[in-house]
Amino acid sequence: MSSTAVEQNSLPSTTQPVPTDLYRIVLLHKHRTEVLVSGERPPFTLPCVEIPKWERVAENVSVGFRKRYGISAICMFTRELSAGATDGDRPLYQVMETREGAIGASDETRWLPLDSISDQSFADEQDSLAIADTLRQVTEFQSEATFGPFGRPGWIEELLSWIQQEVKPYDLRLSGEFRQLNASPTFALLRLETNDQAVWFKAVGEPNLREFEISVTLSKLFPGFVPTIIATHPAWHGWLTTEFAGPTLDQVPDSRAWERTAHALAELQIASIGKTDQLLEAECRDLRVDRLMTLVDPFMEVMSQLMEQQKKTPPPVLGRKDLQTLGTRIKVALSAWTQLKIPNALGHLDFNPGNILYAADQCVFLDWAEAYVGPPFLTLQYLREHLMRLRQKDVRFSADVVKSYETEWHQILSSENVSAAMDFAPLLAVFAYAAEPESWRNPTMLREPGSAANFRTLTRRMHVELRTLEERRALCC
């Protein structure tokens, strides 16, 4: 159900050419006085790097740039496209800076003083505009007119100095080697090597700002289930964690790993019971039944409007009456869930195998920007969704994973209530995933064809899950 899953499953097979993006690089040097250009004389071009589409930009650009030009550089941010522009309208630009001191250019590049740039300096005027935009943005970040700590030249040195001080009490020393995985003015993700175990630094901005407080709170409440935080940088909404030495779940071929993960998820959720106030105070999303109930009617009204806007069939268009019935049935399911007295617990709306680190005796769950408090069993449904995709609808294996999860809950709930709740969970999981972010209330977003189509798809999925639920319950009568 996650957008990540959709994107991953839309990737071409390895037998086909892999789509790529071409990034032009605005590389700053010498305290923002020079920029790297290609060519012996004007008109120049900017150096460029081709990277796989849909993969991490910062990591791939950094590696590709060093490989092609022999220069180690740090990504600062991607120049944003203007409103209404698409990737095909304007070239993509990545703004970078080099940490190296006296550095020469290669045979195909040279350093151009910024104060010597004129209208005739570049073969493509877009390059001149990109450099001007870059300098304007960097000035705003440096003056703090715009918040963007990682859009300032020199930020990496400041970060490394801070990390070195924070790891000293743990007898760790930075080795100087690190990987930059993601970058933007307000977001950073780096893995840094030390004399012992590696450490990770992550910082977030809008719209994931809540992840900072959530991560800090979960590290305090549930050690062993989430990364261990050893330091925080509140001004940057960043935190430093030790590395958990284990692969992500999607890299583990052993089927028992999924069962162990489901068991660990249940353990974490049971441990979170009774901590609702602390989790909500940390800005976990509120998915408690009473709140979900208030979202049903307005959500279905908006979906009715979106269905009426659909121009082609298939896929089928659900009429207003169909959606009214669907909304009524969802409210019935929510009421039935309340009667089962399943306690509110910690959940994760983006619970996918790439966010789960696995070892034989432990699972660590990552990336809690989509943490919620509410019906716990919904989280298992998101994991099952990925499992069914990866295992090509291996029903037996999915049943083993569910059994491992349910077994832990049987310690505090009757098997009848657990079974009944699991019946409702697929329908409620889709509704919660679609309705809680409330982006469906944003008219601007709904005018984007992709967003409208995604909501229609999710609503049709709810309709399918409702039919499946009714058929299953009819067979049990």
Q: What is the pLDDT of residues 115-127, one digit of tens each?
A: 999 989 999 999 9
How does residue 104 score in pLDDT terms, banded at 50, 70 and 90?
low
The full set of domain ranges for the chain reads 19-148, 155-242, 249-476
Q: Which residue has the tokens 């941010």?
A: 77
Closest C-alpha among 259, 201, 254 to residue 227: 201
pLDDT at 14 over 60: no
**418, 440 in Cβ contact below 8 A?**
no
Residue carrying structure tokens 């005739």:
120
Residues 438 and 466: beta-carbon distance below 8 Å: no
- Once rounded to an integer, what is the mean pLDDT over residues 159-165? 98
| Cβ 238 vs Cβ 201: under 8 Å | yes
CA–CA separation, 258 and 173 (whole Å) = 35
Q: For the sheet with 199-203, list strands across it.
A: 174-183, 188-194, 199-203, 238-242, 229-233
Residues 6+ apart with CB under 8 A from 352: 2, 4, 5, 382, 383, 386
Question: Which of 250-264, 363-377, 412-426 comes out lowest in average pLDDT?
Answer: 250-264
- Which pLDDT score, from 0 to 100, does residue 2 have? 38
The residue ranking higher by pLDDT, 54 or 347, is 347
**376 closest CA partner among 257, 269, 469, 474:** 269
Please tell me the predicted confidence (pLDDT) of residue 397.
76
Calpha distance 149→437 (Å, rounded) = 27
9 band by pLDDT with thresholds 50, 70 and 90: very low
Q: DSSP for 29-85, please give it.
A: ETTTTEEEEESSSSSBB--EEEEETTS-HHHHHHHHHHHHH---EEEEEEPPPPTT-
Residues 168-193 have pLDDT tens digits of 999 999 999 999 999 999 999 999 99
User: 346, 358, 204: which is closest to 287 by C-alpha?
Assistant: 346
Q: What is the CATH number of domain 249-476?
A: 3.90.1200.10
| Domain range 155-242, its CATH number among 3.50.50.60, 3.40.50.1100, 3.30.200.20, 1.10.10.970 | 3.30.200.20
Contact status, residue 73 vs residue 109, Cβ threshold 8 Å: no
Contact (CB, 8 A) for 285 and 372: yes
pLDDT in tens, 219-268: 999 999 999 999 999 999 999 999 998 999 999 888 899 999 999 999 99
Interatomic CA distance for residues 342 and 417, integer angstroms: 8
Start-to-end Cα distance in the chain: 30
- 138-154 pLDDT, tens digit each: 999 999 999 999 999 99
pLDDT at residue number 12: 37
CA distance 108 to 102: 18
Residue 462's pLDDT band (cuts 50, 70, 90): very high
* CATH node for 19-148: 3.90.79.10
At residue 15, the pLDDT reads: 55
pLDDT in tens, 430-452: 999 999 878 899 888 888 889 99
Residues 40 and 81: their CA atoms lie apart, in Å, by 29
Mean pLDDT, the chain, whole residue set: 90
Question: Residue 471 has which token pair?
Answer: 């058929």
Q: Using one digit for the tens of pLDDT, what is the confidence trace for 294-306?
A: 999 999 999 999 9
Could you tell me if 367 and 241 are in contact, meaning their C-beta atoms sit under 8 angstroms apart?
A: no
Burial class (CB in 10 A: 0-12, 13-18, 19+), 407: middle
Across the range 338-362, mean pLDDT stands at 95
Token couple for 381:
């449904």
Rounded Cα–Cα distance for residues 134 and 21 (Å): 20
Higher pLDDT, 81 or 75: 75
At 217 the three-state DSSP class reads helix
